[in-house]
Amino acid sequence: MQPDRHFERRRTIRGNAYTLEAFQARYGLPPDEAEDLFFRFGPSSIELDILMAAKKRAPSIHAITEEIGL
């Protein structure tokens, strides 16, 4: 991960904001891919979830069970 990368949001965040770590864990992404997508598309959970759906990447089963409280 490159700690010197700065994220500057040009639009308002839609939905909750992911942290880089939460986004990576939710979709089981390698660190470099998660970082690239996060800094290119921003922390918006709605936008990142739409992006991952378009890439046909579903959230990990662990993330889904946490959301519904199992």
Distance CA 33, CA 61 (A): 20
Which DSSP state fits 7? -
Residue 18 has pLDDT above 70, yes or no: yes
Tens digits of per-residue pLDDT, 25-34? 999 999 999 9
Count of alpha carbons within 13 Å of 47, Cβ hemisphere only? 15
The pTM (predicted TM-score) of the whole model is: 0.72
Burial 30-66 (b: 16+ CB within 10 A, else e): eeeebbebbeeebbbbebbbeebeeeeeebeeeeeee
Q: Where are the domains of the chain?
A: 20-68
Structure tokens at 70: 């199992």
